[in-house]
Structure 1
């Protein structure tokens, strides 16, 4: 018995020693970028009821925390002004863990489905325009770091997820989110500070997958039993709540500057409720992060010939703009001009650099003080009918790019039948006149309001006009 008791003591001691070393989530690893000039959270696991000490290379301060009964701990540390100096952080409960090669800069969180996920190296059936050049020159982008979160579903909120920070080089860059990388590249170029991107995306995911159970349970058209009955073998993008639990929740302690969102394709058939759910998602994420009114910038889903009725995507885009209009500190970029005619059936259009640039223009204008950078596409404001001509006005209109033969316009009379229309711009009145010989008494105008209809109306800063309709005719897809 004495020998047995001794072996138990030795085994217990070994287990204690093995677990004594502080355990960190994978997102808190070497190469990470921390948000500058603020308080950031560090967290992890340790032996229960243990004092944790944190020391940073940029400060003489010592930060302490106490692990709770489950071994969880968290500490807030101050970060300095951004620069390119590699730093380190020591975290100890008696045995020190060091996080090396830390940069201080700006951190942005990217999420959504496959168009956000789409890497610089492209997909097997879709290329990223300019991606190979960006990969070839990646070694020059020393101020960019990217953490790509591995797809993981879960029934309940998790504490940990898989995904570590990678430096920008030719080996790592092919796997970087293209939209996220080009956003980071533009910010890095203009702000001249390190930029960190956390890419937490899942191709084909529906918006309900990124919301918690307590929200989704009230959605009449969502079957929560799919989440309850699913497991690792059959988790897929259409299962509700699992991305929120398995990928998003473990990251909400990480201090970020803002959020970029590229999603909606998976919800085109549920466009009628999308604006409400998008509004809920933004509010929920801001609440969960606890960082106030975080900037939240969306990407309009691109033209694509979806099966079925020809307007489902147009109504989804309308819902995206409706959600943005409801929310503070929120914006959206238009992508109608970023698709080539031969991409009619390509749901992953190749021009991700312009997507990243336009998202960066939003952030630069609204969050970093570059007010002279144009960032908002003109959106429909109102319409007047003058004889057989509809005169349309817009918000966010600075001017027009040129006088030309405009495409993408349609006009309808009282019969609600839309016909291709001609259009003419007026810089003096900042309006667009629309007409057709087939419509004598216009009642409605539409611009690029189909699944796939490309327009060429742009501002004098080169930003496309957002797709719109002046009517409130019900969707044929309802």
Structure 2
């Protein structure tokens, strides 16, 4: 090839690449049909040519900025009011992008492993389930609310999309593959708030917690309150940061109301307890740091009963799961956190993926209604252990979150309580409701010191509040409570 021709082709290549560099590019999360968060400044960002002038217009607002030396730019819209009006956003630089059918309402990011990923396509047989609340219809085939929008975060498909397609109305084919927990959370929340709801689902079956946390954030030794240090958390590996980099980072800083988290089974199989508590704490803090908002709600699901002790790979016991529940619950000490208990939502303890995901979503929405949206009349939790008092040969237990009163789900005597003397040897206990407290006793324990409730992986107690929400498993001799 002669020099003249080579120079000509090089020039064409330069012009072509210059044109590409001049194009405004948006992250995949910004697209047609999206929902923008109400009552907060809304981040809109992307890339362009270095120093390129950018203009963003939406709902009567016009924001201008220049891309930096690396071509990155961001503007923030002033807080918006919730709106069902289908509006357009125009983003203009050397090229112009028009995003259509945009709503304003509430936006939540749900993440975790398979029980969060568990798709709506698996719920066409919900009528075969035998427990509790059931949806009034098969939402997979009958959902028609265009004001609930969904974005399915697929780890291999989060690169910028020139068509700006990613958000969909929660119906038809897009709903088939979407998180059932995420959808039913949105559906119930919509009925409570009557504003558009946007749900982002980022979940991977079988994933441990570590891949969802930026690797560097796990590189520390947790220090207990008694001064003892645990081994460095990064020692556990678990492909730390893998899904953070491919699925969470591309979403930052899309403006959100909060986070939902349903994960833990994979770490429970590893017999983790206090280490998981610190990993979850790290996840919560890192999410808030990423979004630069230390107040963002973080609501999570306490994993369901399952026979972990049947594992042939590891020496797990029937108390491995209760200790994991305890570790999850330690993070309730952090502000703006809450936990949905689902000990009653599986038909057998051989179901690692129990049904009733509509009820899991509903319980998370009860939490959001009460704690995020200030609907204080909404009871969002079952009874939670508060304190115990030894009275003669009984233990009197006081609970928070009693709702309109303590109750038995099946009107039978309360089950799954046990008490122990100073020797720590537990015996099954009788438990009765008196003055909205529980009085426990056992003919085998004359001088009780400790009490436990549902301290077994197979435990599915009938102890609830009158709103039907199950009591949270506990042990009064929690060794970590004062150390975490």
Deviation by residue 1:14-47 (Cα, 9 ceiling, x = unmatched): 2222343211111111111110132111111222
Q: Relative to 1, partners in 2 of residues 1:99 and 1:113: Cα closer, same or farther, differing over 3 Å?
A: same
Give structure 2 stretches of 5+ with no counterpart. Answer: 222-230
The CA deviation at 1:267 is: 1.7
Aligned residues: 451
1:372 corresponds to: 377
Instruction: Determine if the alignment matches structure 1 residue 38 to structure 2 residue 40.
Output: yes
Match of 1:466 among 455, 472, 483: 472
The CA deviation at 1:311 is: 0.9
The 8 Å contact of residues 124 and 138 in structure 2, kept in 1 or not, is answered as: no
The 8 Å contact of residues 218 and 282 in structure 2, kept in 1 or not, is answered as: no
The 8 Å contact of residues 233 and 279 in structure 2, kept in 1 or not, is answered as: no
For residues 223 and 283 of structure 1, the distance between their equivalents in structure 2, rounded to whole angstroms, comes to 16
For residues 239 and 124 of structure 1, the distance between their equivalents in structure 2, rounded to whole angstroms, comes to 34
The 8 Å contact of residues 120 and 176 in structure 1, kept in 2 or not, is answered as: yes
For residues 125 and 346 of structure 1, the distance between their equivalents in structure 2, rounded to whole angstroms, comes to 16
Q: Relative to 1, partners in 2 of residues 1:128 and 1:89: Cα closer, same or farther, differing over 3 Å?
A: farther
- 1:44-443 → structure 2 map (5 Å cutoff): 44-56=46-58, 58-59=59-60, 61-122=61-122, 133-139=138-144, 141-151=145-155, 164-218=166-220, 220=231, 238-268=238-268, 269-306=271-308, 307=311, 308-325=316-333, 327-340=334-347, 343-398=348-403, 399-402=405-408, 404-426=412-434, 428=435, 430-443=436-449
For residues 202 and 211 of structure 1, the distance between their equivalents in structure 2, rounded to whole angstroms, comes to 14
The CA deviation at 1:369 is: 2.3
The CA deviation at 1:322 is: 1.1
Q: Secondary structure at the match of 1:199?
A: strand
The 8 Å contact of residues 222 and 240 in structure 1, kept in 2 or not, is answered as: no
2:227 corresponds to: none
For residues 434 and 2 of structure 1, the distance between their equivalents in structure 2, rounded to whole angstroms, comes to 94
Instruction: Determine if the alignment matches structure 1 residue 7 to structure 2 residue 9.
Output: yes
Instruction: Determine if the alignment matches structure 1 residue 451 to structure 2 residue 453.
Output: no
Q: Secondary structure at the match of 1:384?
A: strand
For residues 333 and 275 of structure 1, the distance between their equivalents in structure 2, rounded to whole angstroms, comes to 16
Moved more, 64-73 or 25-34: 64-73
TM-score, with length taken from structure 2: 0.86
The CA deviation at 1:218 is: 2.6
The 8 Å contact of residues 407 and 433 in structure 2, kept in 1 or not, is answered as: no
Moved more, 360-369 or 16-25: 16-25
For residues 31 and 258 of structure 1, the distance between their equivalents in structure 2, rounded to whole angstroms, comes to 20
Give structure 1 stretches of 5+ with no counterpart. Answer: 227-237
Deviation by residue 1:93-151 (Cα, 9 ceiling, x = unmatched): 12211111111110011111111111111299999966880112212x22111111113
For residues 151 and 410 of structure 1, the distance between their equivalents in structure 2, rounded to whole angstroms, comes to 46
The 8 Å contact of residues 127 and 350 in structure 1, kept in 2 or not, is answered as: no
For residues 165 and 367 of structure 2, the distance between their equivalents in structure 1, rounded to whole angstroms, comes to 27
The CA deviation at 1:393 is: 1.4
Moved more, 350-359 or 381-390: 381-390
2:225 corresponds to: none
Q: Secondary structure at the match of 1:203?
A: coil
CA RMSD, aligned part only? 2.7
For residues 195 and 248 of structure 1, the distance between their equivalents in structure 2, rounded to whole angstroms, comes to 20
Deviation by residue 1:57-95 (Cα, 9 ceiling, x = unmatched): x21x32112122322211112353112111111112122
TM-score, with length taken from structure 1: 0.88
The 8 Å contact of residues 391 and 434 in structure 1, kept in 2 or not, is answered as: yes
Deviation by residue 1:285-312 (Cα, 9 ceiling, x = unmatched): 1111013410111111111111321111
The CA deviation at 1:163 is: 8.6
For residues 236 and 466 of structure 2, the distance between their equivalents in structure 1, rounded to whole angstroms, comes to 51
Q: Relative to 1, partners in 2 of residues 1:271 and 1:469: Cα closer, same or farther, differing over 3 Å?
A: same
